[in-house]
Amino acid sequence: MSVANQLDSLGHAQVIVILKPTVTRRDGRQTIVALEETKDLQEEVARKVRKHFRYFPSSTFAQLSSVVPPTIPNGEAPQYAVDKRAKRLGAEASVRYLPNLGVLIGTIDRAALAALCADEDVADVLDPPPLSLIQPEEDSALDGPGEGLSWAIKRLRIDALWDKGLSGSGVLIGHLDSGVDPAHPALQDKVDAFALFDLSGRQVVNAPVADSGYHGTHTAGILVGAPVNGLSFGTAPGARLVSAGVIEGGDVPARVLGALDWCVAQGVRVVNLSLGLRAFVPQFSAILALLRARNILPVVAIGNEGINTSRSPGNLKEALSVGALDQTDQIWLQSSSDVVVDPPKRKVPAIVGPGAGIWSSVPGGQLRSLSGTSMATPHISGLAALLLEHRPEATVDQLERAIFASCVRPTAISSARGNRGVPNAVEALTQLG
């Protein structure tokens, strides 16, 4: 429901407010945010802007703040992370301050909306987009996972980068999903940090590392998994995972924003997003732009609804969007593709990667074959981590250009479905220099 519709029907609305100004610095040919200086500056701005938010006991934001996350064991009371800047701001149930993004999210009335839109310290006021997990298709595989290299690793030539000594070592990958099973043999000692965000978007510090389903453990295995039973399927096994459980209900926009803010603080260089809204939602462009300004590459699944469809944020120009390829070098039938007319007019996804019949980890120590753009996306995030180990000083734009320049589209795939085509890890390394 839009802000206007919320105000008309409820008398209050939830909004995302992006603050200005920012402090920037040059990094090669790219201008990026000087994070600590910007946080100092924006804390003063946030203190002034906070006065526009209101507390409404009937708001979803307020009601969800009292719900105990279901994953806290033995009835233990949740303990919430306290950011010193948010604490100084005096944030409460009406507003949440995310200092690493420079974002406030909370509840306002009609007068506050007018005041925010007129406030010179506010860069944008956005509707929270109703995001959801992009569900994969479970394969009824007659054959088991086999041994050796997965077909996806071979197709992208990832093993050639391993032969050069690259594994993603030293690179942190943000992983926003259903969580992760750290006890899986593929993922033991792979999780650098984990955070659960409750139904209203607050970080719960005493939540166990866990997966509320299976999707997150599967994508985590594709990102950083160690070989299991002789099968190598983890793209960047030396990288470390910064995993956030965000997606199984509640106020998903607040949970996703809280997790992205936390990922920025952890120092991730890539963030893997297998989530979206079945529409074009330009509001989230500003959030992805904040990540890119902090030198973080957002790699986003385009969706599993087929031709002439796409999901946001994957269809936004700030995303490195990924579609799914099968083992015959055809586009997986359900992989979304679209033409976005919003300037600049463009085809999505930007590239395609292996996403059909992908064996990876699931909770309980098992392997499962799944298909979807959710499986293609972490292969590209893992490739980015390998490239960043090689050139840690590379900017997000340099990294993306190298991946794009390495792509070749199979002759049987149209540009409408596959756009630039499939990356070649060796060529991407050469392009990055």
Q: Which residues are catalytic?
A: 177, 215, 374
Take residue 41 and report the two structure tokens written for it. 């500056």
d(CA 337, CA 314): 10
Take residue 376 and report the two structure tokens written for it. 């293609």
Pairing of strands 148-149, 231-232: parallel
Q: What is the DSSP string of 179-207?
A: B--TTSTTTTT-EEEEEEE-TTS-EETTP
Q: Give the 3-state secondary structure of 78-100.
A: CCECCCHHHHHHCCCCCEEEECC
- Rounded (10°) CA dihedral 137, 140, 142, 145: 40
| Burial class of 299 by CB neighbour count within 10 A (0 to 12, 13 to 18, 19+) | buried
- Rounded (10°) CA dihedral 229, 235, 239, 240: -70
- Rounded (10°) CA dihedral 293, 294, 299, 305: -60
Take residue 256 and report the two structure tokens written for it. 């996703």
59: left (phi over 0), alpha (psi -120 to 50) or beta: beta
